[in-house]
Structure formats: structure tokens, C-alpha cells
Structure 1
Amino acid sequence: MLLAAFGLFGLCLRRYRTAAVFCALGGLWITLCAMPAFAGLLKLGLENQYPRYEAATYPTADAIVVLGGGDSPSFGASSHVGTGTSSVQATRAGLGLELYRESKAPIVLLSGGDGEAVDMAHQLEQQGVLAQSLKVESTSVNTYQNALYSAAILRHEGRNRILLVTSSWTMSRAAACFRRQGLEVIPAPAFDRENTRRALSWQPQRASLAQSGRWLHEYIGLLVYKLRGWA
């Protein structure tokens, strides 16, 4: 849209060749972003550096920090998102629960506003997590505040080494924010259900256009966070 706007501006200035180039580039970019394969490549660039592992394979830490967002776990489900991977681990809260059950940390800190952290805490308590092992940070509205407010809670309890649970495609920004707060971060990306689908089609689809926008937003967000000194 921005390229098309430049094209229209050039048209107003009677720079017809320039206007045609910008409009053509805008159309080509929109078409490319609407291709499932291109959207998949964008996401792969975000998540590829953070492979997903079974909960039992992670090292121990002082705390498990689970960020809000994503789907709610379907506890007790028997479906799988990958070889040997329970569907519970396809969610952030679910992976946090599995890490706790594997005794990877004594506490689980849930971070997220709009009631997300409170809801996750209620779910985990119903699944047997001790109330004294649950910590809730419920005032944050973005990833920077997740890190800022969670770090204050962790420092108060003398906990520095964390297993950070979020989606793999947001892990770069999240891990950088928590490290910026002086914490030692062990990335533990959830097995998001979308990660199991690798679209190879180059035929434009409206759904892929929305996905490309989502991944590009994450790339830009990471850049903005770094420029603001948040990550």
C-alpha cells in the first residue's frame, strides 16, 4: 500500500514512469506476500534458530516463565503435533505444565494482561500445580512489560535462570527483552500447531497475505525494540 501511495503521488506529479514502477512494485509485493511458500519462509526465518524439544530434555532453572497468548491447552487430549509430542505441549501453558511436571523449576511465573495470566494460573492449578508454585504477573500489555515486570518478581525471589516459554516465532524478541533485564534465558518454544504445516504452494491466497503481515510485523517489532533499547 505504501508503494502504491508513492505511485499515486508520482502520478499527481505527472512522473508517469516513476508512478508505474512504484505501482508495479506494490502489486508484486502484495502478490508475493499472498503466496503460502513466501509466508512460510518469513516464519521460518523467525523460528528456525529456536528448535523445539520435549520438556524432559531441558536443563533445570530457577523458574519457568510462560508468556500469555496462543491457544489454551486441551488437557487430556491424546492427539499429537509431532513425533512423541503431546498436544498439550502445542500451547504455552501446556509446555509450562510439562516442564513443571518434569521438575525443571520449582515455580511457574505466568505473565500477561487482560486476564491471560490469571486464566493460565487457574488452568495449571486444576492440573495439580501447587498454588505456592504459581506466580502471576497480570499487568503487562506487551512483551517488553512482560520482561520488565516479571524480572522484578524474579529478582525479589532471587531467581535469575529461567526457562522462557512462548511461541517460537516470538522467541527472538521475548528472549532479548528478558536478557536485557539481566536474566539468564533458556528458550523453550511451544510446539505451535502452525509449525507442523509447511505450505509449498506459490499460488496466492488471502490467508497467506494475513500470515505474511503477521510475520513482517514481528520482524519490524524486533527492530523497533532494539532501537528503543528494550531488547
Structure 2
Amino acid sequence: MKLKQFLLALHLTRGIGRAAEAKIIYAIVNDLAPTHYPWSLDEVFSIIENYQQADNIKSSYHLACNRAETIASDYLTYFDDDYPPQLKEIYEPPLILFYVGNLAALRLPNVAVVGTRTATPYGLAVMRHLLPEVVKSGIAVVSGLAKGLDVMAHQITFANSGVPIAVIGTGIDMTYPAQNQALQQQIGQQGLVLSEYPPGTGPQRSHFPARNRIIAGLSSAT
């Protein structure tokens, strides 16, 4: 097993969350981790030091290692060349990013556009006034593909031949809300869709604040 596949296995292991993944990243960056893969359970625990989740981790770790060998989705790890350097600067950066689309979008300057789900005509008017010139200047638009202004941002980006980047709070094979499915597919074809959640993961309330930290980390301005 290579490092990339092993990191995916850790990400898929129940009981290993963002705090534990941050410790794993620190250990690897500072040459404090084993260089053979996969690690033994004792080696995992020596790094993450999360014994409260010991039962979850023990019961799922080997299954996650097997699953990592079968997942067909494209994904980045923290240590891949295409991983955005600015994203490494945030608190608890994602260890894994699943994606659909063109990773070249991550090399463009970008701005995040976020707003209310109950968008008003005024909000749409402001977006139509501000965004086209931004998009035409070669700046990618990052948003969350949520109902309201997020969707408007992606639509205006398409209308002006720009590059949209959507960061979602479900698995890359899911859409929330469901009515955004066609737009998500279009973004995957002409831009980039990102998620830190494994395929098959549905929406949960806690996913969306976590998703927002990735939007903020990717973007030069909001």
C-alpha cells in the first residue's frame, strides 16, 4: 500500500476525525511517523492519541484499508502536488479531498461568494453587477452550491464563461439540495467539485460549517 492509499484508509476509518488527521499530517511532515504502510493499530494510536475512539477505530481500521483499495473516485491528499498550498494554512486542513472536474481550476486566482439561501431580487442585482467583471478577469468563483446566492454565483460564472469551484457538504456522488444535481454535474464538467466526505455520504448539519472552512481556505477574498 502506498502513502496516498493509506491516507485514504485513515480518512475512511470511523473515529479518526479532523483533529486526529491534523496530528497525522504533523507527524508525517516532521518525520515522526512510520514510513511503511499500512501502520499497525499501535502505530496509529501512538500518533493520534485518541483512545476515546479506540473501539470505533479498532473495528473499522482494517475494513477501511480494504475499502481504500476499491474506491474509484478521484481524490487528493494533503501531500499531493495539486493540493492547494493556501489550504494548508487553515486550522485542521482536510487530509483528503475528493473531486470531480479539472484540478487546473485550483491554480487560478479565486474569490469566494457566499450568501443567504433566501435570496432577494436586490441580492441577485448586486451579484449581476459585481461578478461578471471579476469572472472575465480570469478569477475563479468558489461557492458552496447551496440554495440561493451560492447557486446564483455559479450560474453567473457560467453565463460569463468563467470557472466555478463548488465545495459541497456531501459525498461527491450526492447532491444537496437535490434540485442542484444538473448544476453540480455542469460544474464537474466545466470547473471543479470538491468534498472531504467519502462517496455515499449524505448531508448532515455539521458538514456545512466544516465545508465553509475549505471555501475560506481556498479563497483569496470573500
TM-score, L = length of structure 2: 0.29
TM-score using structure 1 length: 0.28
Greater Rg over alpha carbons, structure: 1
Task: Tell me which of the two structures has the higher relative contact order, counting C-alpha pairs closer than 8 angstroms and 6 or more residues apart.
Answer: 1
Higher helix share: 1
